[in-house]
Amino acid sequence: MKFLASPTRFLFFTGKGGVGKTSIACATALHLVEAGRRVLLVSTDPASNVGQVFGQTIGNTITPVLSVDGLDALEIDPEQAAAEYRERIIGPVRGLLPEKEIASITESLSGSCTTEIASFNEFTGLLADPSLIEGYDNVVFDTAPTGHTIRLLKLPGDWTGFLDTGKGDASCLGPLSGLEKQRSVYAGAVTALADPTVTSLVLVARAQASSLDEIARTADELAEARIKPSNVVINGIMPSAATVGDSLAVAIQERENAAMAALPHSLDAIPRDLIGLKPENMVGLVALRSLFDDAGSVLPEDSSPVPKTATPSLDALVDELAAAGHGLIMCMGKGGVGKTTVAAAIAIQLAQRGLAVHLTTTDPAGHLESAVGDRKAFPSLTLSRIDPVEAVADYRDHVLRTKGNNLDAAGRAALAEDLLSPCTEEVAVFRQFSHLVNQARRTFVVMDTAPTGHTLLLMDAAGSYHREIARNMPDGTSYTTPLMRLQDPDYTKILLVTLAETTPVLEASILEDDLKRAGIEPWAWVINQSLTAANSTSPLLRHRANQEQASIDAVQDRAQRLAIIPMLEQEPIGTKRLALVAS
């Protein structure tokens, strides 16, 4: 592998959800350790599954990987990081200030902005504080899906620029109280990220047009922050030997070849590695060692029959959804499981029934327009996307028009500077999210959500807003917050989208438990891209299909409603193909 030829101190793996970043990061860490290096493996994904890969609990403290001498791991837990961050600020004044004031400070430090800053502090510390990584030859970062990671990689520069203004008078003043003393750490992180002799940024993709376009956009956005990708890895390539006599495998290979032939030109000059599709899921040391070995890509002939399983279609779920006449439908799950496809297919099916539908995404890297294509045949279908840049611009204009209307020039200047805080993005995005939630009172709103960790931060913002409203409303006052809408099963239907694989099912199960603790009951599960339901004859795909049954059984044990979508020969892009997904 070219990216392993001369490994730098820091190695980042980023890309669209579901492309195999965790597998490649874990295999890289194992490779480096077995080459005699001492390695720290860090996950910045709020929904990390590094622990599952190595079969042990990792968590928010540096933990030795028991099966690999010389490898330690850390999963940055946003909630635990936020709790520790709050305590560092509140602890010194607890007992010195009145309880009411302590409660007010705690509430100001309970939002998603604080959660992001806390995680960000841990991330930048690893880049810029030598004492934290003393003794490690390499630090390997398994990052969150692209949109979240772009924000994380750009934040050191954003916060450095904001602090350089010298005012520090921000709307998120509570979180900012711990930032000023971190100025030198942020500056060091900026320097490390931009230095190619210190940091390698590896863009990971599948041989799919949307995935390759995603890493091209990532390269362009990070270039604005003076961060240049060092390598591209295309993962999960269909081996030619696996396509013999199987139309599904042939179709997959043909669309992979077409996607590679149309590779964005901005990626041409970046060194590239190809990794073949493996028969086993990447869990455990044996599987990880095989990932970079092309000899392990094809199985010998496998005569084991694929177990037959009932395959309830998505169409049956859409019939039940349509009966309500309106409401909020949210597709949630791990990155790369096909939430955009499922959300778009549901929206098309509802529009085919003559219902008014608004299809939207909260994913910073979401691109519904390219997924849906020409929608002239569906005049009742509208599309939107919560674009963080547009959301911030709209929010700043709104605040300056309202809150700043009666201020003098100095006051408006101070308010405008306050709104330059990176925390403003969280507030602005939540404002647009709330508007979409309320829109479902009159029509169907189908929401393709960001990957799990980013969505949980949005839910956390809904909880913080609800608590703030409840605290300030007079007794007996009637009100409805976005969280209350999400908790109403007649108003909101949440579909957990997954693949028939161990890690996506486990992550969706954890998400289901998190939602239930917030008083939100998921309505249905959808298993996407099932090889069991596709009836392939390829030995490689049949072997992978045989591994699906345990995951399908685990979902059936949890789900009140279930739909299974087979792996399709044609990629479900455009309204005609999307309409077939639900059939």
Pairing relation of β-strands 444-448 and 381-385? Answer: unpaired
Calpha distance 280→543 (Å, rounded): 8
Cβ atoms of 304 and 532 closer than 8 Å = no
DSSP state of 94: B
HSE-CB at 211 with a 13 A cutoff on CA atoms is: 29
Q: What six digits make up the tokens of 434?
A: 């709330």
**If phi over 0 gives left and psi between -120 and 50 gives alpha, with beta otherwise, what is residue 266?**
alpha
Q: What six digits make up the tokens of 292?
A: 């970079």
Cβ atoms of 433 and 440 closer than 8 Å = no
Calpha distance 501→509 (Å, rounded): 12
Which one, of 227, 238, 232, 200, lies nearest residue 216 by Cα?
232
Catalytic residues: 18, 20-23, 45, 503
Cβ atoms of 315 and 582 closer than 8 Å = yes
DSSP characters over 323-340: TTSSEEEEEE-STTS-HH
Calpha distance 433→462 (Å, rounded): 9
Start-to-end CA distance of the chain, whole Å, equals: 42
Pairing relation of β-strands 63-64 and 71-75? Answer: antiparallel
Which one, of 308, 306, 309, 316, lies nearest residue 563 by Cα?
316
Q: What six digits make up the tokens of 32?
A: 């480096």
Calpha distance 183→199 (Å, rounded): 20
Dihedral (CA of 230, 236, 242, 245) sign: negative
In the sheet that holds 39-43, the strands lie side by side as 63-64, 71-75, 39-43, 138-142, 10-14, 199-206, 231-237, 272-276
Residue 436 CA, distance from chain mean position = 20
Q: What six digits make up the tokens of 178?
A: 């711990």
Calpha distance 351→380 (Å, rounded): 6
Report the amino acid identity of residue 147: G
**If phi over 0 gives left and psi between -120 and 50 gives alpha, with beta otherwise, what is residue 98?**
beta
